[in-house]
């Protein structure tokens, strides 16, 4: 499939897909005419990258995570000490963001529950 179809299937803009390629998060096959050629595995990869980026993980760490996942799939060693340190620092930030989002979700639930209770007929 071409980049436009990949974009439509993943909901990720073609410009962003090209950026993922520049950051070496995605590698497209090339047709003889130079057009990018994507398959089903690329759909999964773009969705994975987009999900990680939307979760707040910087692209430099997305690359590290994807490389580690790929190495794990090949049953190779996956985590040098410096990578582990980067991931540990990122994990701390993720945990804080998750806690903040959880508190916000709980507040919204309480507000909606109170609102429903006030609106419900007696």
Segment 109-120, tens digit of pLDDT: 999 988 887 776
Residue with tokens 């499939």: 1
Distance CA 68, CA 11 (A): 25
Q: Which residues of 16-40 are buried (b: 16+ CB within 10 A; e: fewer)?
A: ebebbeeeebbebeeeeeeebebee
Nearest to residue 10, comparing CAs of 56, 45, 43, 51? Answer: 43
Mean pLDDT in residue range 10-39: 92
Answering whether pTM is above 0.85, one says no
């Amino acid at each position: 499939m071409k980049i436009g179809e990949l974009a439509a299937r993943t909901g990720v803009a073609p410009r962003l897909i090209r950026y993922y390629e520049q950051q070496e998060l995605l590698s497209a096959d090339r047709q003889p005419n130079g057009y990018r050629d994507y398959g089903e595995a690329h759909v999964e990869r773009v969705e994975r990258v987009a999900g990680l980026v939307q979760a707040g993980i910087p692209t430099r760490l997305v690359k590290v995570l994807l490389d580690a996942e790929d190495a794990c799939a090949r049953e190779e060693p996956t985590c040098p000490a410096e990578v582990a340190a980067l991931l540990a620092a990122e994990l701390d930030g993720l945990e804080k963001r998750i806690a903040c989002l959880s508190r916000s979700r709980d507040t919204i639930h309480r507000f909606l529950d109170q609102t429903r209770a006030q609106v419900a007929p007696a």
